[in-house]
Structure 1
């Protein structure tokens, strides 16, 4: 007998699509999704090929089947089967031993995105650790650290976006490093298509001719990676010298643009005007100056600036790719600058730049206990927390909450995540650290598959997929809905959902009553979370109706325009900055006294492993990654059907390939000081000269000690953090490429 079950994808895909699973004889036999809406502003939560193939990814014969403990050297992938009782006992013993020997700050839960439902593994285990005295936590994410930290220095908040329905009111949309066609950036792509139908011109700026540029852009402008701020500086120069900038807006709402509107006590020559005109350094930031840096023709830069200033309202929307560079904080702040210069802040059809978060409906959240241990590190620096945690400081390493850590990291809990090895930068360095058992003494992993990270577990547990447990899915960033994940089938083999086995662990620790809130089942917990949300969102239906319908799309949606209140009533609604105004010049950044890396104004800085790095003589090509449509980060890599959707290849320009004797389809070696990768070459005119690119997320497959055969980009990425956010500079990498074997024989 067939039955249809409504569920949703809970991995870290921005799409958050509706999945209709057909179940027969306890097996998912077919998947369908919501049909696209033809009219109106209701967004269709329609699955892309990733969603349609969820069952083939998550319910395959490659699943982990039972708990295991390591028997070989860490990382060898040698395990033996154990019972769940034995696994829980070992975990409890190590948990207690490390807590008593090293203290609360020795325990760390790794960043993970394999399950992003409300009841997600890392939130649950953090809850248990908090009840048990605390743990070392992290802040930021791998995705958006630089813009999250940098944007508030301009606006006082990261909530700088508009409701996406307002894009139709733009006269021009510029997408800078924004690729929602492949990343599924919430429902962004749907609204961009609606804007295009309404006649809005769209320009895509990207080193690579992305699917977004191909599918919806009227024009593609190729740019060298890490030079976004130089482009904006030159655009600003054009606006200023041609008097196309909004002087009234700048004078009324901003500080730091010119010398007449600077904070008190700041010496002359520190304004943004002084910078772009060359009054301070003698170098006007002309389009010709920017051409040498960005690779964009000077005339094109001039015309782009004029078109942006003349098309009001206009939206300059920066994706998160540009801020995942060694100078990413500057890219983020520069996008706010150009919006301010044109008065596109606080208006429908405009865009204030920066991170672009919005205020919308309340979102359901797991009620995690307060962590008694106050220490936090940047999420990108957990490997440093292992090797030199007690030496980390606030100024140099971004340590928060404590003056110093009381221990290095001695226990890592990695649930539904591949950051432990595959998704963290400089894989070879990471592996060397993890292999040394005198450093991190215990690693616990729960996963569906034997991922590159799972191979480094001391105890490895089989988790459940979205089809095998209930959950609630919330919008990723944009979206007026919440979804319910109905359980479709029983857990495969001996797999268990994290809440299930964590209750067993909590019992061993004497914390079951608190952890389970008096013995709540998973469904009870989800209902509790939902009812808490209903107290604030009165429109929501009863829980049983919500479950039956597989979720709810809000009907009473308010339009949000960031800073509209400040623009309409500046006297009573100041900006949430120290000055109450938009801070083009930030006194807080100025006082850090690191002008070369962390300037007080948004401006181009060279960063490391970019076009101005001395290493470019040895490694002349810039390497970037992108979010491929065949994977969500590293999820779906085990699905051979998805592999056919897009090959794992190195994009290289025709000119760069010819210089190296490389033809399309040749096997090449990509290398730098950190390692090397063997991968097939894709010779194309769809990427600019001097840049190579490969999809991120391929599972690391070493041949020997350092050469990867799968095209796992993090073999080559740097673990050096960005200067301000201490964030992930994943797209700032210098490499060389050589031919390994020719398809011609």
Structure 2
């Protein structure tokens, strides 16, 4: 077991030894090179000695202050949770080292460059320091400072007023991921103490995947496991072909034991076996930027068309695995269709071969003008897939964030399914690479198993639907709006919500405006509602754009300013825990959320219930660590005293093969679908299309993974908006986290990607300021003219902070992509498909 003092104390000895060594060499280097002008005890400057003898006779300078080293992690949502070692002097963080524990340099959770800028966030002059109450219009950013007592009295009164007037169903805990920690957000527990709230369903990262994939791979499906996907370590060991759809870990998962490092090893291993990597993307992304031969350019939003053409070639070449498809699947051809759907040409085979509903054969020639990939190139990729012994087909989460994403994510999975290359060594299911199956510690429970805090409300709202529920929630329900009501709380109202949302609880999130669709519409809707009918509370560390729309802002202490504990990230394929003490005191009047909520709970006479009989925040950290899950995994973890001393505990996780158990024994390990098999055609989805009241009649719920252009997808450009526009994750930000740090803005600027052909036609040169206009709004942004993006498509890095005069021209000079995205939920998931499905025009500013 590695001890913390074995790793870090030696640095102090090094500093002192280096100083002594420098004095010893002063005669060689010259005294001035060592001493120069140094501070005197009185605060003035001393004169440099003129000789080594004079230097030796001078009194010793003040001793260098001792470092205090504490541990923490990068707690924002890239999926990494990379490890920090804070160095503090006199109670203030001075700099940060990252993980250097262990002997193997391949097993260090080292922070990426944006994570290493966390010190600038921690000690930023833009930190929120005091509670504040809104005094201007929503979005104006006009607030006045109030005391904590005033803030908690106001919060108590507004919560009580909401409950008394509309009930707990009117309170919504909005989706937020700006703070990950086992004790980082006890809001759920507090809200359950006062009767509960409507909560969030799905998430912005995998909205369509979470909603639609259970109909194909079963109700147990999760995009966050190693059951329905294979690990990159499995590809490293056994794959001979990796085909990636919209997957760029070099931009999204950049840490030391993160997916980018895993993929680098995959590339080396696959290529050493004579295999190849194919990265399908509308951009030459950062993952393939040094390997352009891997890039297969595609028009954004057309992945399902490419998949259909590939599978057409598998059929034409006789390479589909018919035994696998008949044994493990429903809906591949007429023989495998459900009984009630036979004889109607509804199978996937009929769709591909042109005998299905649209009577169009999905040949490479059909797909070429849609995808911008030549037909011969499609055939060559099909041949590579057919000839591979262990093809690893993997998608990122970008393809499903289109308005046709509910079909696209399933269509990508059809590529390995059609070949029968699932559940075998070196293969994958078409999902993003697997995530670790082991989490060693839990978090503060939202409810007690046998205690006073119980789940108060079970109604769930798709995260992208909150704006509609604020605006017209009583017109929405289970069959009209995708609301989930597992306990039947809405049965007395025909499945419809009883009320709109009247209170938004926003902790560490920027999804009110910046990270939500159609930010201009959000402004209009929120400002159309009276202050008596809507109250928004935001709890954060800096003034985000979402915070400007709040009625009350509370200043949060950061994880590094209190005892903290967190597991490994969900995108890092290992298991671990990091525990650290505060690296510095919180500035101003910032307080930990737990301590504040304990005080708020007291105003509801619920302090004892919330604190579980008086437990402090630090008591919870120790309790959660000592009641870990290590026994279930047969793991021996350090004691509490040992983890406090060493800071970090890590262990590797074995490779995994997605759906291996199902492949090995499909009866004993049946999937959670009606048939227990992979359902290519879903009778459930077909029934829902008939039963639900769909918002847009021309956008049905599709039972098959077809190519559907989607709203503002392929074929929707016009003379006014002739370009397809999409967002992508930027390496300088984790969503919008880190988005205010100027040093990151300078080294990785917010730039519109535009192909030289499109730029030349508009008189735009690299570095020009341009105006991008969509049906939803306008942004001003610098142009990056590059052949690394396909013609006809422009791209805006997502997460940049909005800077718009909403009472003026509304042009967003911060370049936030959600100023351009139209608010248009997808048919079944009610998700954020327009995040990557936009149409636009660009003009020189």
Same fold by TM-score greater than 0.5: yes
Tell me whether 1:474 sits opposite 2:550 in the alignment: no
Deviation at 1:365, TM superposition (A): 3.1
**Match in the other structure for 1:275:** 351
User: How far off its partner does 1:35 sit?
Assistant: 4.5
Residue 335 of structure 1 corresponds to 412
Instruction: Please state if 1:493 is matched with 2:493.
Output: no
Aligned with 1:603 (options 678, 683, 706): 706
Paired position in structure 2 for 1:90: 154
Q: Distance in 2 between matches of 1:184 and 1:27?
A: 29
Q: Would the alpha carbon gap of residues 188 and 215 (structure 1) be closer, same or farther in structure 2, given more than 3 Å must change?
A: farther
Q: Is the 8 A contact 1:597 1:607 kept in 2?
A: no
The 5-angstrom pairing of residues 150-161 of structure 1 reads 150-156=212-218, 157-158=221-222, 159-161=227-229
Match of 2:44 in 1: none
Q: How far did residue 482 of structure 1 move?
A: 2.6
| Aligned counterparts of 1:635 and 1:48: Cα–Cα separation in 2 | 14
In structure 2, what is the Cα distance between the partners aligned to 1:648 and 1:38? 38
Task: Write the distance in 2 (CA, Å) between the matches of 1:214 and 1:548.
Answer: 41
Contact 1:148 1:355 survives alignment (8 Å): no
Partner of 2:288, secondary structure, is: helix
1:743 counterpart residue number: none
Would the alpha carbon gap of residues 150 and 36 (structure 1) be closer, same or farther in structure 2, given more than 3 Å must change? farther
Deviations 1:52-77 (A, max 9, x none): 11101221111111111112222221
Q: CA deviation at 1:230?
A: 0.4
Q: State the alpha-carbon separation in 2 of the partners of residues 545 and 343 from structure 1.
A: 48
Determine the C-alpha separation between the residues in 1 that align with 2:701 and 2:103: 48
Task: Return the offset for 1:217.
Answer: 6.5
CA offsets 1:409-466 (integer angstroms, 9 cap, x no match): 1111111111112111101110112223427521111111111111122111111122
Q: Which residue of 2 aligns with 1:738?
A: 843
Q: Which runs of 5+ in 2 are unaligned?
A: 1-65, 448-453, 691-697
Whether contact under 8 Å (2:158, 2:535) holds in the other structure is yes
Partner of 2:464: 380
Give the structure 1 partner of residue 537 of structure 2. 444
Equivalent residue number for residue 339 of structure 2 = 264
CA distance in 2, matches of 1:486, 1:14: 22
CA distance in 1, matches of 2:254, 2:216: 24
- State the SS of the aligned residue for 1:236: helix
Given that 1:314 and 1:351 are in contact with CA atoms closer than 8 Å, whether structure 2 keeps it comes out as yes
- Structure 1 stretches lacking a partner, 5+ long: 741-745
How much does 1:160 deviate?
1.2
Task: Report the Cα offset of residue 471 of structure 1.
Answer: 2.4
Quick one: distance in 2 between partners of 1:596 and 1:234?
A: 23
C-alpha distance in 1, partners of 2:381/2:131?
Answer: 58
Q: Per the alignment, in what secondary structure is the counterpart of residue 467 of structure 1?
A: helix
Give the structure-1-normalised TM-score.
0.95
1:697 aligns with 2:804: no
Deviation at 1:558, TM superposition (A): 3.9
Deviations 1:614-636 (A, max 9, x none): x5342111111111111111111
* Contact 2:241/2:270 (<8 A) preserved: no
- Give the C-alpha shift of residue 547 in structure 1: 2.9
Instruction: Quote the residue 2:811 is aligned against.
Output: 707
Pair 1:165–1:397, CA change in 2 (3 A):
same
Asked if 2 retains the 8 angstrom alpha-carbon contact of 1:623 and 1:693, the reply is yes
Give yes or no for the alignment of 1:5 onto 2:70: yes
What is the CA distance between 1:694 and its match in structure 2? 1.4
The one-character-per-residue Cα deviations of 1:485-520 (angstroms, maximum 9, x if unpaired) are 432111111111111111110011111111111111
Question: What are the superposed Cα offsets for residues 591-625 of structure 1, whole Å, 9 maximum, x if unpaired?
Answer: 22469632222110111001122x53421111111
The CA distance in 1 between the partners of 2:101 and 2:285, in whole Å, is 23
Is 1:103 matched up with 2:172?
Answer: no
2:670 aligns to what? 574
| Deviation string, structure 1 residues 169-207 (Cα, Å, up to 9, x no partner) | 110111110111011177221111111221342111111
Contact residue 232 and residue 433 of structure 2 kept, 8 A: no
Number of aligned positions between the proteins: 735
CA distance in 2, matches of 1:701, 1:722: 28
Q: Which moved more, 1:562-571 or 1:172-181?
A: 562-571
Instruction: Report if the CA contact (8 A) 1:606-1:612 is conserved.
Output: yes
Q: Which moved more, 1:235-244 or 1:73-82?
A: 73-82
Q: Which residue of 2 aligns with 1:400?
A: 484
Indicate if the aligned counterparts of 1:474 and 1:483 stay in contact, CA closer than 8 A: yes
2:295 maps to 1:220: yes
TM-superposed CA distance for 1:476, in Å, is 3.3
Alignment of 1:265-664 (within 5 A): 265-268=340-343, 269-280=345-356, 281-354=358-431, 357-358=434-435, 360-363=437-440, 364-369=442-447, 370-401=454-485, 402=490, 403-438=495-530, 440-478=533-571, 479-480=573-574, 481-534=576-629, 535-537=631-633, 538-555=635-652, 557-593=653-689, 597-613=700-716, 615-664=717-766
Greater shift after overlay, 157-166 or 323-332?
157-166
Give the Cα–Cα distance (whole angstroms) in 1 for the partners of residues 398 and 510 of structure 2.
20
Give 1:150-229 correspondences, 5 Å limit.
150-156=212-218, 157-158=221-222, 159-168=227-236, 169-184=238-253, 187-200=258-271, 201-215=276-290, 218-229=293-304
Deviations 1:242-300 (A, max 9, x none): 01222221122112111111111213211111111101233110011011111111111
Please report how far the alpha carbon of residue 543 of structure 1 lies from its aligned counterpart in structure 2 after TM superposition.
2.3
C-alpha change, 1:642 and 1:235, in structure 2 (3 Å) is same
Taking the aligned partners of 2:524 and 2:318, their CA distance within structure 1 comes to 56
RMSD: 1.9
Residue 733 of structure 1 deviates from its aligned partner by 0.7
Q: Which residue of 2 aligns with 1:242?
A: 317
Q: Equivalent residues in 2 for 1:660-675 (5 A)? A: 660-675=762-777
Residue 539 of structure 1, CA deviation: 2.5
Give yes or no for contact 1:193–1:216 (8 Å, CA) kept in 2.
no
Q: Distance in 2 between matches of 1:539 and 1:718?
A: 51
Compute the displacement of 1:641 (Å). Answer: 1.0
Paired residues of 1:67 and 1:460 also in contact (CA < 8 A):
yes
Deviations 1:195-226 (A, max 9, x none): 12213421111111110121466410111111
Please say if residues 394 and 432 of structure 2, whose CA atoms lie closer than 8 Å, have aligned partners that are also in contact. no
Q: Deviations over 1:562-618 (max 9, x none)?
A: 2212211223222222111111111111222469632222110111001122x5342
Render the CA deviation track for 1:377-431: whole Å, top value 9, x for unaligned.
1110111111111110222310111312221111111111111121111011101
**Which segments of structure 1 move beyond 6 Å, counting only runs of 4 or more?**
none
